Amino acid sequence: MKKCNTISIELAKSVFQVAIINPRGKILSNKEMSRKRFLSFMANQKTSRIVMEACGSSNYWGRLFKEMGHEVLLVAAQHVKPFVKGNKNDANDAIAIYEASCRPKMRFVSIKSLEQQDIQAIHRVRQRLIDTRKGLMNHARGILAEYGIVFNVGISQLRAGFVSILCGDNSSKEITSTLVELTKEWYDELSILDKEIAHKDKTIVKLARQSDATRRLMKVEGIGPVIATALVGSFGDKPTEFKNGRDMAAVLGLTPNQYSSGGKTNLGPITKRGDKYIRTLLVNGATSVINALGDKSDPKSQWLRKMLARKSDNKVRIALANKMARIAWAILAKNEDYKPELACAC
């Protein structure tokens, strides 16, 4: 793209801060606009370089501006903060977004397609339901403990415990009519949440079957419909923003933290940066692979056995999750099928 003005936008629900900077870095204007005026203003702009912070609604505006022919870049919020000078306000934030976008090694956030937005929406609703169910279980266990009733760990054990209270099978003398009524409410709410989560799981499986990229990912050990759709929903079916698989693993926080000085390199625990949700899914997937290791003799299983003999189980899970992220990048970026014989090379 030829040299053109940069439009730096601080997004909001109804009031937008819009800064225009020429190719030499001179601020031409930095004004606040209402939503209606903002839409009219952008519709009349010549082809420009538009930079925004990756936040709520940024994907929508990014898609809209790309359709208008602009170059659109999204900067992660943590990379903008260091460039805010003076007081925290929208005018300074808009300039900070521009300055962050000019850094030579800045990594930008990809704009999500509508298909990716659908996948992420399903995952977010599913996770909210799971968190709600977890909160309900902890809440119920805490109250029941005050009555001297403690059930074994696990949702199935708690569900069976609810049934025993409702059927009068529990031998505790502390059970009152009020506790039975509360237990009935917990049981009904838990059943509703279970049905809603199961419905979201079916939707995710359906979405996974419709995509060639997710079908290829699901051939990797430990990657099922949930992980495959989460990866495609976040990074697309061709994650070109990453130079290699290690970059993708680093963005997910699965690479070691580095403490280096004076030519001496020290590696610490993983950084835990980036998308916690996908990182957790990959670690859970790695755990399932290790639990199902058995007497398998393929190269990856042999590699895992050697790792387990030298390192703790937790370190091996992280190492395998890192490898799974790298394999996923290779499958998506190179549009290839999974090759088990090359798995240990990633």
Cβ atoms of 88 and 110 closer than 8 Å:
no
Q: Using CA atoms, how far apart are residues 111 and 74, in angstroms rounded to an integer? A: 7
238 with 131, same domain: the answer is: no
Cβ atoms of 48 and 40 closer than 8 Å:
no
Token representation of residue 115: 């298909």
Task: Please give the C-alpha separations between residue 146 and each of 111, 174, 182, in angstroms, as whole numbers.
Answer: 50, 9, 14
Does residue 19 or residue 297 have the better pLDDT? 19
120 with 204, same domain: the answer is: yes
Average pLDDT of span 162-168: 90
- pLDDT at position 222, please? 95
118 with 87, same domain: the answer is: no
Report if residue 1 sits inside a domain.
Answer: no
121 with 187, same domain: the answer is: yes
13 with 119, same domain: the answer is: no
- Any idea what DSSP says for residue 340? G
Cβ atoms of 201 and 130 closer than 8 Å:
no
Average pLDDT of span 7-36: 95
219 with 340, same domain: the answer is: yes
Q: Which residue has the tokens 């506790």?
A: 179
Per-residue model confidence as pLDDT tens digits over 286-315: 999 999 998 888 888 889 999 999 999 999
- pLDDT at position 131, please? 97
Average model confidence (pLDDT) across the chain: 92
250 with 314, same domain: the answer is: yes
Q: Using CA atoms, how far apart are residues 53 and 72, in angstroms rounded to an integer? A: 11
Report if residue 40 sits inside a domain.
Answer: yes
Angle at 91 between CA 87 and CA 97, to 5 degrees: 95
Residue 326: pLDDT above 70? yes
Q: How many beta carbons lie within 10 A of that of residue 243, not counting itself?
A: 11
Average pLDDT of span 36-40: 94
3-state secondary structure of 166: helix
What range defines the domain where residue 121 resides? 114-210
- Any idea what DSSP says for residue 33? E
Cβ atoms of 54 and 35 closer than 8 Å:
no
Q: Using CA atoms, how far apart are residues 55 and 75, in angstroms rounded to an integer? A: 9
- Any idea what DSSP says for residue 83? G
- Give me the CATH number covering residue 21: 3.30.420.40
Using pLDDT thresholds of 50, 70 and 90, give the confidence band for residue 1.
very low
Average pLDDT of span 131-154: 95
State how beta strands 256-261 and 71-75 pair.
unpaired
- pLDDT at position 101, please? 96
Q: What residues form DSSP beta bridges with 49?
A: 6, 71
Report if residue 108 sits inside a domain.
Answer: no
To the nearest whole percent, how much of the chain has pLDDT over 90?
80
Q: Using CA atoms, how far apart are residues 195 and 69, in angstroms rounded to an integer? A: 44
pTM, to two decimals? 0.89
Q: Which secondary structure element, helix H or strand E, spans residue 20, and what is its range?
A: strand 15-21
Average pLDDT of span 93-106: 95
The total domain count for the chain is 3
Task: Please give the C-alpha separations between residue 229 and each of 52, 211, 226, 280, in angstroms, as whole numbers.
Answer: 26, 9, 5, 14
